[in-house]
Structure 1
Amino acid sequence: MTANIQTIFFDVGNTLRIVLPDQEFIDRAEAGLMELIGTTESHDALFAKLEERWKAYRKQSKTTLLDASEGELWTQYMLPEYDPNMIFANAPKLTRLWRDHDGRRVARPDAVATIKELHRRGYTLGIIANTVTETEIPDWMAADGVAQCFKTTILSSKVRLRKPDPDIYHLACRCIGTPEANCAYVGDNPVRDVEGTQAAGFGMMIRIDEPDTLNKEKATGKEFTPDHVITSLSELLDIFPERA
């Protein structure tokens, strides 16, 4: 099967990058968000409200398998009582600050080297990620010097489709020009990443064993078995040899 894989798609959150707790970083992000919207609400009241609304939006998006754009997210779901023109204009900044209030996102220690080596070995690489931000992932790719390694970046906030809907995988394959049977996917979620990849007819699914994801993933009664389970991204180099 490995010999037939031409393209490798990656998830990003908890796959290529992880979140590090950094209270000073979090405090700056939360203060920046409050300053940006000019709120008179207390810190605790504002973030309690935002957390409640975020959970409601996440529940809806996971049910419909559709994601909103950044502008829609903030004007319709997160801060609908604020001036919509101001919120819409600042939606990208608000999304980044909201993401940063979880912690500081950094690439796994072996992510950059593994990506560059797979690219050098002749594999076409792409991204398929559920995300509310439209700029954070491309900015990271440029900052860490791997943007040139990826041919296609499919983000749910831009295409509206959301994993595990097979259509987001089919879209990625059309964009990158590789049949599904010749594609592999690397992700961390034991349910939606495996379910969506297999439903789309990908030739291989590889799950990276991420404790943080497993702790948050609720039991669904569904069982999906990936083709490989790895504990570090560098193990991909044992699965995908040099292409002829």
Structure 2
Amino acid sequence: MSHILFDFFGTLVDYDDGHAPAPVKSAAMATALGRPMSADEFLTRWDSVWMAWESRCFSSHREFSMLDVAGSFLPDASPTELAAFVDVYIAEWNEGVRYLPGIEVLLSSLAGRYRLAVVSNTHEPDLVPAHLAAMGVAGLIDAVVTSVELGVRKPAPAIYESALTRLGIPASAAVFVGDNPSADYFGPRSLGMRSFLIDPAARHSAVPPGDRLSSIFDLPAVLL
């Protein structure tokens, strides 16, 4: 085994699994673009549009982008206005992302023995690379593969295959680590990758105990 492929959100960073908790600036921008609303009204309307996209794409594992959602949310806005709106919303959503103390040390140690990559579901192309740079670990990552760039999300086989092709390795040379059973454990295993699930509460009994981690910091011990 020569490569470690990581999920990002919930694995290398903690985050609030939902929409921006206090979208005051996003609501203000929507108001300025002709859709008056408070922050609370924004959350209700945004969630409705978001879930419509989720329902549309769920069965096919097709990925949608923040611009897709923004276009449905603000149908009269220009492309330039939509891009600016997405920037404002992402900045507010990022307030719920928390970097793990010690993650740079962990990844630096692993990079001394393995090549590292990130394979993440995300709706914004620049989001994961920007966080990796802010964390100070971008130089340790050989490849970043995201669902929005490919148009399909984990657990669609194509996203794992794209990562393996980009790295030039067979599935048997990689281990996958993440926090979602379908996307990060069973999906990679279906292609022949070894995988580990971050499951601190031991909620996923379908995953063997030896393949479950309490946190990402348990990974070095199981790779020995």
Shorter-chain TM-score: which interval?
0.7 to 0.9
1:19 aligns with 2:11: no
Shift of 1:152: 0.6
Q: How does 1:126-141 map to 2 (within 5 A)?
A: 126-141=117-132
**SS state of the match for residue 167, structure 1?**
helix
The verdict on how the C-alpha distance between 1:226 and 1:52 changes in structure 2, with shifts beyond 3 A counting, is: farther
Structure 1: stretches of 5+ with no match in the other structure: none
Runs of 4+ in 1 over 3 A off after TM superposition: 222-227
In 1, Cα distance between equivalents of 2:4 and 2:167: 10
Partner of 2:90: 96
Shift of 1:48: 0.4
In 1, Cα distance between equivalents of 2:162 and 2:89: 25
Higher RCO (Cα < 8 Å, 6 or more apart):
1
Partner of 2:107: 115
Partner of 1:167: 158
Deviations 1:164-201 (A, max 9, x none): 01110000000011111111100101233222111222
Of 145, 157, 176, the residue aligned with 1:185 is: 176
Answer whether contact 1:92 1:134 (CA < 8 A) is retained. no
Shift of 1:60: 2.7
1:34 aligns with 2:24: no
Partner of 1:206: 196
In 1, Cα distance between equivalents of 2:88 and 2:191: 33
The verdict on how the C-alpha distance between 1:210 and 1:64 changes in structure 2, with shifts beyond 3 A counting, is: farther
**SS state of the match for residue 181, structure 2?**
coil
Shift of 1:91: 5.3
Answer whether contact 2:175 2:195 (CA < 8 A) is retained. yes
Identity %: 21
In 1, Cα distance between equivalents of 2:207 and 2:218: 21
Shift of 1:88: 3.3
Answer whether contact 2:24 2:38 (CA < 8 A) is retained. no
1:51 aligns with 2:44: no
TM-score (norm: length of structure 1): 0.79
**SS state of the match for residue 58, structure 1?**
helix
**SS state of the match for residue 13, structure 1?**
coil
Answer whether contact 2:11 2:178 (CA < 8 A) is retained. yes
**SS state of the match for residue 47, structure 2?**
helix
RMSD: 2.7
Deviations 1:49-107 (A, max 9, x none): 1112212222333321011233223214xx1433142443325404514634xx52112
Partner of 1:63: 59
**SS state of the match for residue 192, structure 2?**
coil
How many residues align? The count is 219
AA aligned to 1:189 is N
AA aligned to 1:36 is M
